[in-house]
């Protein structure tokens, strides 16, 4: 092993000017959008070691560090080419490093030395691989965040919806110079190839900086993104400062194996977005308001913290709100709501208006207010915001299919108690004569507590539940459905089991009358079912519903 000082000094001796060649794609999905126009990138060993040392992450190198320049960075051996700096992370196997070496990796970064698999390579041993990867990724891709105004959302529910609302506002405001990193899609430019499906809500840091670089190279000036709690847990956004960070809400979710050990850990990770944002927007109706507000206050001047809530909402703390909103008119198709600025700093944003939103649901008014505030903070005018909200559509969220002979069908991504309750409560209130018929399943091998939550929400708000399959993983979907059923109040709700999801949807539509509402919950526009570790193609709930309406 080589001591820290010597490692950096050796690398510094004769360090060349970096040669600029090209970038490697990280992960299957990013392959699809890497165009020739991407700016070539590189990183030399000296830069890498100095950066890691400055951030107190570097322990040592396994051999004298050479003066090499890396033309590629990746954490996946299947993506390695010549002159690659390879990152060993997560459920890693030494065989991956051996493959990386065979493919041309010239050094690796890891938390432990791999003497056998990494023989002949310089091993850069660090205290935290995820932090090292984020720092070196940002450096490799030339700090693209510096060229973007970044708005980031966190919350148990509403991240994707609010991000789409803000994306559409920024599209109006910047004349289409905005990127979007969401759970559904990542959009790094305006050409068809610049839009591709996301693998994670918040990508791994190397992919994140790669995609930011593509966005900047494509001329984007703004970025709207979702930041999951897992992103902080895994340091995917380590070192990033956001221009505006929005905390929407928190309810127990994502607690369990491979996610968060406790609710406190989940809350802590979510709050890190506020710690790392120049301006914070907080939904004052969130649970844990005291904790959330104090976290923001600890690192952000009060002048840069904005609180909003529905007019008349009971707040857990006697805080002065900056912005309130109230419903003016709502139905099953749209919401009109009025926004009022209360504080001087909010008044300066000039956002007082009545807005028309064509994505129904009272909780979507709250999501929209957060987007309006974020848009206004980026300089968007209320006329631009108004236009964006009239036009906005969010894939798989409150999608509506209608037909004269059957109930109105809503396809929605609700997949825990809080979201299903919010969705069904809204629809139930709007349904005066008919029944609420819900098609739902729950995922296998994760989120087990959702099963009880679904039973509870169905008991509170549904008339008919058709229990079916939703990403069963390695579990038997009927066993999952039984677990939901065990929490349903059978005095109130009629239950059917139809395990084939397509048949379940057709059954629900077939039994509905025009006064009814049919809710297809949990899958949004997902085009697959996860079965025994395989993503099995699935036509999507929307397609099945549209076909069923035509054919029935
Ligand atoms: C716990 C967690 O963050 N896991 C993520 C993590 O897994 P990992 O590092 O263990 O990677 P792995 O796929 O097991 O493989 C180990 C390593 O070997 C490498 N490898 C693998 C095979 C090979 O041949 N060669 C090779 O080099 C892989 O590239 C990887 O670096 O890195 C992978 C990408 O490299 C992610 O796919 C994976 O997300 C899993 C699948 C996941 O579902 N994560 C969820 C919990 C998550 O992050 N969700 C949040 C949203 C939650 C919310 O809504 O709040 C998100 O941001 O998406
Ligand atoms: N503010 C909100 N409060 C409660 N439920 C909401 C809210 N916003 C959206 N929902 C419900 O949650 C579902 C998921 O919304 P969305 O995809 O915007 O949230 P998300 O935070 O991205 O979720 P996930 O982390 O599960 O991907 C919606 O389909 C809707 O039913």
Strands (E), 120-250: 122-126, 149-154, 178-181, 185-187, 195-197, 222-226, 242-247
Looking at residue 430, its pLDDT comes to: 83
158 annotated ligand binder: yes
Return phi, psi of residue 35, to 5°. -95, 170
Q: What is the pLDDT of residue 5?
A: 45
Contact 257, 79 (CB under 8 A): no
Which uninterrupted H or E stretch holds 502? Answer: helix 501-511
Task: Report pLDDT for 7.
Answer: 47
**What is the 75 CA–ligand 2 centroid distance (Å)?**
31
Exposed, middle or buried: residue 225 (CB in 10 Å: 0-12, 13-18, 19+)?
A: buried
CA of 537 to the centre of ligand 1 (A): 21
Q: Which of 161, 364, 421 is the pocket-test mutation for ligand 2 (most atoms within 8 Å of CB)?
A: 161
> Which residues does 76 contact at the CB level (< 8 Å), separation at least 6?
26, 27
In this structure, are residues 352 and 386 in contact, taking their beta carbons and an 8 Å threshold? no
What 3-state DSSP class applies to 466? strand
Query: String of b and e for 264-288 (b: at least 16 CB within 10 Å)?
Result: eebbbbbbbbbbbbebbbbbbbbeb
User: What is the per-residue DSSP string for 88-135?
Assistant: --SS--HHHHHHHHHHTEEEEEESS--TTTTTTSEEEEES-HHHHHHH
127 is in an annotated binding site: no
CB 32 near ligand 1, within 6 Å: no
The CA distance from 148 to 243, in Å, is 9
Ligand-binding annotation for 156, yes or no, is yes
Residues of the chain with pLDDT under 70: 1-40, 551-552
Give CA–CA dist 343/320, Å, rounded: 8
Q: Which CATH class name applies to 399-551?
A: alpha beta
- Determine if residue 236 is labeled as part of a ligand binding site: yes
Task: Output the pTM of the full model.
Answer: 0.90
Find out whether the beta carbon of 464 lies less than 6 Å from any atom of ligand 2.
Answer: no
pLDDT confidence of residue 460: 97
Residues of the chain with CATH 3.40.1390.10: 4-140
d(CA 80, CA 72) in angstroms, rounded, equals 8
Q: Measured at the alpha carbon of residue 377, what is the angle toward residues 375 and 382, in degrees to the nearest 5?
A: 50
- For residue range 366-418, list pLDDT tens digits in order: 999 999 999 999 999 999 999 999 999 999 999 999 989 999 999 999 988 98
Indicate where the chain has its CATH 3.40.1190.10 domain(s): 144-391
Mutational test site, ligand 2, from 158, 186, 424, 447, max ligand atoms within 8 Å of CB: 158
**What's the angle, vertex CA 361, arms to CA 425 and CA 331, rounded to 5?**
95
What local confidence, expressed as pLDDT, does residue 551 receive? 63
What's the rounded Cα separation, in Å, for the pair 505 and 438? 9
**Fold annotation for 144-391:** 3.40.1190
Q: Residue 119 C-alpha to ligand 1 middle, in angstroms?
A: 26
Q: Where in the chain is the domain with CATH 3.90.190.20?
A: 399-551
pLDDT at residue 6 in the model:
46
CATH code for the part of the protein at 4-140: 3.40.1390.10
For the question of an ipTM over 0.90, the answer is yes
- According to the annotation, is 122 in a ligand binding site? no
**Which residue CA neighbors atom 21 of ligand 1 most closely?**
76
Looking at all shown ligands, the one closest to residue 370's CA atom is 2
Q: Which residue out of 26, 75, 90, 137 has the highest number of ligand 1 atoms within 8 Å of its CB and is therefore the one to mutate?
A: 90
Question: What distance, in Å, lies between the first and last C-alpha atoms of the chain?
Answer: 72
Cα 157 to averaged position of ligand 2 atoms, centre (Å): 4
For atom 9 of ligand 2, which residue has the closest CA? 158
Spatial separation of the C-alpha atoms in residues 387 and 20, rounded to whole Å: 43
């Amino acid at each position: 092993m080589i001591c820290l000082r010597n490692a950096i000094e050796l690398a510094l001796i004769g360090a060349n000017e970096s040669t600029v060649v090209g970038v490697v794609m990280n992960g299957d999905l990013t392959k699809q959008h890497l165009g020739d126009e991407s700016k070539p990138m590189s990183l030399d060993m000296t830069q890498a070691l100095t950066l890691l040392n400055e951030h107190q992450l570097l322990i040592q190198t396994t051999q004298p560090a050479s003066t090499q320049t890396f033309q590629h960075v990746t954490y996946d051996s299947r993506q390695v080419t010549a002159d690659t700096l390879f990152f060993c992370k997560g459920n890693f196997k030494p065989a991956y490093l051996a493959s990386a070496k065979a493919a041309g990796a010239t050094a690796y970064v890891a938390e432990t030395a791999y003497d056998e698999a990494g023989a002949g390579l310089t091993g850069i041993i660090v205290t935290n691989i995820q932090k090292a990867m984020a720092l070196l990724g940002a450096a490799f891709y030339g700090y693209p965040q510096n060229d973007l105004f970044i708005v980031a959302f966190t919350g148990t529910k509403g991240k994707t919806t609010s991000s789409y609302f803000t994306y559409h506002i920024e599209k109006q405001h910047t004349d289409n110079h905005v990127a979007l990193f969401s759970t559904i899609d990542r959009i790094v430019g305006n050409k068809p190839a610049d839009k591709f499906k996301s693998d994670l809500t918040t990508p791994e840091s190397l992919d994140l900086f790669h995609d930011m670089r593509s966005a900047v190279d494509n001329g984007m000036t703004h970025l709207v993104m979702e930041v999951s709690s897992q992103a902080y847990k895994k340091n995917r956004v380590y070192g990033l400062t956001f221009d505006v960070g929005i905390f929407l809400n928190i309810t127990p979710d994502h607690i369990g194996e491979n996610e968060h050990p406790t609710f406190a850990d989940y809350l802590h990770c979510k709050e890190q977005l506020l710690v790392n944002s120049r301006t914070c927007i907080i939904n004052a109706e969130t649970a844990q308001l005291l904790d959330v507000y104090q976290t923001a206050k600890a690192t952000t001047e009060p002048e840069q913290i904005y609180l909003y809530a529905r007019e008349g909402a009971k707040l857990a703390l006697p805080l002065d709100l900056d912005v309130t909103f109230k419903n003016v008119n709502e139905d099953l198709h749209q919401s009109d709501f009025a926004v009022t600025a209360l504080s001087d700093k909010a008044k300066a944003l000039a956002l007082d208006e009545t807005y028309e939103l064509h994505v129904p649901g009272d909780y979507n008014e709250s999501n929209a207010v957060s987007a309006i505030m974020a848009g206004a903070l980026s300089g968007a005018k209320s006329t631009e915001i108004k236009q964006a909200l009239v036009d906005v559509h969010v894939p798989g969220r409150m999608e509506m299919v209608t037909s004269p002979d059957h109930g109105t069908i809503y396809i929605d991504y609700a997949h825990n108690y809080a979201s299903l309750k919010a969705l069904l409560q809204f629809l139930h209130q709007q349904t005066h004569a008919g029944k609420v018929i819900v098609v739902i399943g729950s995922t296998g091998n994760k989120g087990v507590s959702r099963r009880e939550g679904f039973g509870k929400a169905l008991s509170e708000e549904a008339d008919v539940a058709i229990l079916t399959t939703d990403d069963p993983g390695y579990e038997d979907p009927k066993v999952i459905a039984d677990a939901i059923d065990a929490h349903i109040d059978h005095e109130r709700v009629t239950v059917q089991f139809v395990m084939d999801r397509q048949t379940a949807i057709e059954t629900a539509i077939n039994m509905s009358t025009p006064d009814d509402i049919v809710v297809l919950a949990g899958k949004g526009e997902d085009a697959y079912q996860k079965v025994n570790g395989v993503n099995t193609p699935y036509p999507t709930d929307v397609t099945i519903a549209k076909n069923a309406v035509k054919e029935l």
